[in-house]
């Protein structure tokens, strides 16, 4: 899953894909490198991110989706949003998947809307919102607590009529670095949820702060942890760098065979 952030303040690539020309350039690059999906977001969810109005988010996300599909009509696009109205408008614009970093906690209508849209739903674990999540890291046992929360939300989403669900443990979202590493180390346990697992580790602070570097210099670390995620059962890698992730997947599939 290749990331296209239509935001001025994302932690790694903020402001880079704001114009129509840059959106198409990035989409072409990611698809040519082997992306299965493009994940389009109009609201930065980095820790401490500024609020974005629903209107602005719809214009950014739906506009980018329409732009991409005009040039690449076969592209599979997910919309990265926690707002049901944005999800609805994005699917109307051509998105095929809803990727909700809040797992339904920030919009009570999300499950009902996604069920009506009849699209797959990526349900991520997070506490609070982008401004508050960094302070909400108290767990008895992060792996057990996140697993339990995801299991409960998956059951609720299914009861609302969502049939296709993908789970994301939410690395870095209301988790310390050490908690994110604990989740990765125990990722195979998330197969008990009986849904595909998405790992979103790309260039995150758990990598660059551990290596005392920057997000710009975290590609090698990302590749290392993506490989571990695959070995531990991840089905989807959400990444900024598709070429390297595709190479990871190819090597992993040959290892398995």
Catalytic residues: 204, 238
Which helix (H) or strand (E) segment holds residue 208: the answer is: helix 205-208
Q: For residue 54, give both structure tokens.
A: 């629903």
Q: Round to whole Å and give the CA distance between 191 and 210.
A: 27
The C-alpha atoms of residue 165 and residue 171 are separated, in whole angstroms, by 18
DSSP letter string over 4-56? Answer: EE--S--TTTTTTT-SHHHHHHHHHHHHHTT-S-EEEESS--STTPPP--HHH
Neighbours of 216 (CB within 10 A): 10
């Amino acid at each position: 899953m290749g990331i296209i952030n239509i935001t001025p303040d994302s932690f790694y690539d903020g402001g880079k894909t704001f114009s129509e020309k840059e959106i198409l350039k990035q989409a072409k690059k990611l698809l040519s490198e082997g992306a299965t999906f493009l994940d389009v977001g109009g609201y930065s969810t980095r820790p401490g991110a500024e609020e974005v109005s629903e209107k602005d988010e719809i214009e950014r996300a739906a506009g980018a989706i329409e732009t991409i599909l005009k040039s690449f009509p076969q592209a599979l696009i997910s919309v990265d949003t926690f707002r049901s109205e944005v999800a609805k408008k994005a699917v109307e614009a051509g998105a095929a998947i809803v990727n909700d970093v809040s797992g339904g906690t920030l919009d009570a209508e999300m499950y009902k809307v996604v069920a009506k849209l009849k699209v797959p739903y990526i349900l991520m674990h997070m506490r609070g919102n982008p401004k508050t999540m960094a302070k909400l890291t108290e767990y008895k046992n992060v792996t057990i607590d996140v697993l339990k929360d995801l299991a409960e939300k998956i059951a609720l989403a299914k009861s609302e009529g969502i049939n296709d669900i993908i789970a994301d443990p939410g690395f870095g979202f209301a988790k310390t670095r050490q908690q994110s590493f604990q989740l990765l180390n125990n990722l195979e346990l998330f197969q008990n949820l009986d849904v595909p697992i998405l790992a979103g580790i790309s260039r995150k602070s758990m990598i660059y702060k551990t290596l005392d570097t920057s997000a710009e210099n975290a590609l090698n670390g990302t590749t290392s942890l993506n490989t571990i995620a695959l070995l531990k059962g991840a089905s989807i890698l959400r990444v900024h760098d598709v070429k390297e992730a595709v190479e990871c997947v190819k090597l992993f599939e040959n290892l398995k065979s």
